[in-house]
Amino acid sequence: MQSDDFIQKAKKSLSSNECMAFFCSCEIKYSGRAEAHLPTGDRIIIIKSDNTILVHQPNGSVPVNYMKEGSSIEIDNKDNHAFIKSYNQKHKDSLQIEIYLIHNFISQRLEDGQKIHLEGSEKDMSDMIYDNPSLISKDFKPLAREEHTKYGFIDVFGYNKKGELVVIECKRYTAGPDAVTQLRRYVEKIKSLRGLKTVHGIIAAPKISPNALKMLDDWGFKFVSVNPPKRLETYKKSQMGLNDF
């Protein structure tokens, strides 16, 4: 495809609020939160109707360059090839794409009012623990979940049989050192806010890393193995289906 042809189509796509995708050989420079340069190669480029720009290499799931929605986009001719310049005032960054060869191009107005519905988040996990406190221990009496205001962002907290406060930090995956320091912060915060000497801390996660477990021991906290909800639900079913053959 000729550069002039591409520029005309791309401008039309932008002005009619369409989304476009094209494959091209290009060179890219980014400046803003960092400085980046990507030498010439074949890329997949998407420009959406909200002026989001995504540049993908032929492998991998992460864009090699991008600009977020609300950026300005200019498309010009420079030395007989197309040149895309994008600025984002909010994020103070800019992207420049020098296009040496356009392999193909598609553009279309897209309609999509749907939002993804997701189950199995950490919130769902803390809800599960709140509703099934025996997952932690038979003595645990939950008081509240997802306290985002008074005591910080504590996932679940409650009492043990002695009436002592228990703070639970949930993680959907292997808990690392960060999870333990997070728990430690919350426990200390509650201690100081309520003037208590004894507040228990529990990490609820499927696994915990060795270093994290050592830190947990050092601070007198406990680990309880809990599997997050909704994990693999449909996957397992379809695997069962496959195994029927």
Partner DNA sequence: TACTACATCTCGCAT
Partner DNA sequence: ATGCGAGGTGTAGTA
Interaction site with DNA (CB under 7 A): 30, 32-34, 36, 60-68, 88, 90-91, 93, 95, 116, 118, 120-123, 148-149, 152-153, 155, 169, 172-174, 176-178, 182, 185, 207, 209-212
Long-range contacts from 111-119, C-beta under 8 angstroms, 24+ separation: 119/229, 119/230
Site for its own copies, residues 82 to 101, rule: CB under 8 A: 92-94
Q: How far apart are CA 185 and CA 111, in angstroms?
A: 46
Contact with its own copies (CB under 8 A): which of 14, 23, 207, 213? 23
In this structure, the number of other CB atoms found within 10 A of the CB of residue 224 comes to: 15
> Which of 175, 174, 157 minimizes the C-alpha distance to 166?
157
Q: Does 58 bind its own copies (CB under 8 A)?
A: yes
CB 199 within 8 Å of CB 165: yes
The interface partner of residue 210, options being its own copies, DNA, none and the CB cut-off 5 to 8 Å by kind, is DNA
Among 2, 8, 16, 69, binds its own copies (CB under 8 A): 69
Q: Does 163 bind its own copies (CB under 8 A)?
A: no
| Alpha-carbon radius of gyration of the chain | 26
Which secondary structure element, helix H or strand E, spans residue 103, and what is its range?
Answer: strand 93-108
Contact by Cβ (8 Å): 202, 135:
no
Q: Which 3 state secondary structure label does DSSP give 150?
A: coil
Residue 60 CB, nearest approach to DNA (Å): 4
Q: Which is nearer to DNA, 20 or 208 (CB)?
A: 208
Shortest Cβ 142–its own copies spacing (Å): 23
Interaction of residue 160 with its own copies, rule CB under 8 A: no
DSSP reduced 3-state for 174 = coil
- Closest to DNA by CB, 3 vs 84, is 84
- Taking alpha carbons only, the member of 187, 160, 182 closest to residue 170 is 182
Q: Kindly indicate which of the ranges 131-139, 160-168, 197-205, 234-242 contains the residues binding its own copies, using the contact rule CB under 8 A.
A: 234-242
Instruction: Decide which of its own copies, DNA, none touches 12; Cβ closer than 5 to 8 Å per partner kind.
Output: none
List the single partner that 123 binds among its own copies, DNA, none, CB under 5 to 8 Å by kind.
DNA
